[in-house]
């Protein structure tokens, strides 16, 4: 790794930060709507544990949709322990980009309740439904996994949990629509409860950069040597991040950034550069697809400055 990575991150932050003013914080979750538009952080954690950070990298933020990567990892762990789970999962959720907003209902009606992929809200709800079959502690399991991978306790932000629940009409509608097609086995309330819980995990930019590394390390947590996922399954989660992790901007992200990324509506985006590092950037204002605007710029700058093309 370049010795001057700290300088690179400084330059990336300088280039990206001013772009935040062109984005907008989401209006449907109160605390996100009023988030400080000037907050900015970028953290890179190398596989050997060396950490580099600029900005507010130790401020906890709600993980929101980035949690979908970790619940998918847990569902795939369940698939390792029980035959037929992977087959069931990939029958009930697809692996194609949606081309629609992350909370859209339109495709679900046309495609008989089978979500396009696990990174949109509908897909994450099906993943939670599968997970609930195997882990009765599913809502806590994701927080436990995040804590293990971050190397520090991750907690739930009760206010975000409550606000996300208050603005969950659309997610509830998605769950009901899927249930009407027979694509949920638990009640809408049970599935929604797990989903709302995972979205409210409060985690810092630095912790997310640490936690995502296992996907760039053949499924093994580099901090502990523990296998989280089999290499083939880790590769598949990364592939879904690349093709679907930033929703309707996934093509633009592949074009500009080139490595797998996953965004959350709180303005965080995680990325993985295989066998090199985990990265996380955070800036609350979003572009129209729901990804951090300055975060996108920062990851583009990072890829260019470090020549990170993976394909
Ligand atoms: O379900 C929702 O709408 C939010 N709790 C999470 C969505 C999200 O993070 C989309 N990402 N950009």
Quick check: is 28 catalytic?
Answer: no
Quick check: is 195 catalytic?
Answer: yes
Report CA 246 to chain centroid distance, whole Å.
9
For ligand 1, say whether the CB of 245 is within 6 Å of any of its atoms. Answer: no
Quick check: is 265 catalytic?
Answer: yes
Could you say which of 69, 160, 237, 247 is catalytic?
A: 247
Quick check: is 102 catalytic?
Answer: no
Mean pLDDT over 157-184 rounds to 96
Q: What is the pLDDT of residues 261-293, one digit of tens each?
A: 999 999 999 999 999 999 999 999 999 999 999
The candidate with the shortest Cα–Cα distance to 164, out of 59, 293, 75, 266, is 266
For ligand 1, say whether the CB of 121 is within 6 Å of any of its atoms. Answer: yes
Q: What is the pLDDT of residues 224-236, one digit of tens each?
A: 999 999 999 999 9
Q: How confident is the model at residue 79 (pLDDT cuts 50, 70, 90)?
A: confident
For ligand 1, say whether the CB of 217 is within 6 Å of any of its atoms. Answer: no
Q: Confirm if 265 and 32 have CB atoms less than 8 A apart.
A: yes
Tokens for 212? 């995502």
Nearest ligand 1 atom, CA 286: 12
The length of the chain is: 311
* pLDDT the model gives residue 2: 53
Please report which residue ranges of 212-271 form alpha helices under DSSP H: 231-244, 250-256
Q: Which residue has 């879904």 as its token pair?
A: 240
Tokens for 88? 């069931």
* Gap from CA of 290 to ligand 1 centroid (Å): 8
* pLDDT the model gives residue 310: 58
Q: Confirm if 263 and 269 have CB atoms less than 8 A apart.
A: yes
pTM above 0.85?
yes
Mean pLDDT over 98-122 rounds to 96
* Gap from CA of 265 to ligand 1 centroid (Å): 5
The candidate with the shortest Cα–Cα distance to 199, out of 239, 156, 261, is 156
Q: What is the pLDDT of residues 29-45, one digit of tens each?
A: 888 899 999 999 999 99
């Amino acid at each position: 790794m370049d010795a001057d990575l700290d300088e690179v991150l400084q330059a990336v932050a300088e280039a990206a930060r001013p772009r935040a003013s062109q984005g907008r914080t989401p209006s449907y979750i109160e605390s996100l709507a009023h988030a400080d538009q000037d907050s900015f952080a970028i953290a890179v954690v190398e596989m050997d544990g060396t950490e580099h950070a600029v900005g507010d990298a130790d401020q906890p933020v709600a993980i929101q949709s980035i949690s979908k990567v970790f619940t998918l990892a847990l569902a795939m762990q369940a698939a390792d322990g029980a035959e037929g789970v992977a087959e069931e999962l990939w029958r009930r959720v697809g692996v194609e980009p949606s081309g629609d907003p992350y909370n859209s209902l339109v495709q679900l009606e046309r495609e008989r309740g089978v979500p396009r992929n696990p990174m949109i809200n509908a897909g994450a709800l099906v993943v939670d439904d599968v997970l609930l079959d195997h882990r009765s502690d599913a809502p806590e399991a994701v927080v436990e996994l995040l804590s293990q991978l971050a190397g520090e306790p991750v907690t739930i932000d009760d206010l975000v949990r409550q606000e996300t629940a208050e603005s969950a009409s659309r997610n509830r509608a998605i769950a009901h629509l899927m249930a009407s097609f027979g694509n949920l086995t638990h009640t809408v309330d049970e599935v929604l409860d797990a989903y709302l819980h995972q979205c409210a995990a409060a985690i810092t930019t630095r912790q997310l950069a640490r936690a995502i590394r296992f996907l760039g390390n053949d499924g093994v947590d580099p901090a502990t040597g523990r296998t989280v996922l089999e290499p083939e399954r880790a590769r598949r989660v990364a592939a879904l991040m690349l093709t679907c992790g930033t929703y309707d901007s996934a093509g633009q992200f592949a074009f500009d950034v080139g490595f797998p990324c996953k965004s959350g509506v709180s303005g965080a985006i995680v990325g993985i550069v295989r066998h090199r590092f985990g990265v996380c950037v955070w800036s609350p204002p979003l572009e129209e697809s729901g990804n951090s605007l300055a975060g996108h710029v920062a990851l583009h700058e990072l890829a260019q400055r470090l020549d990170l093309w993976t394909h």
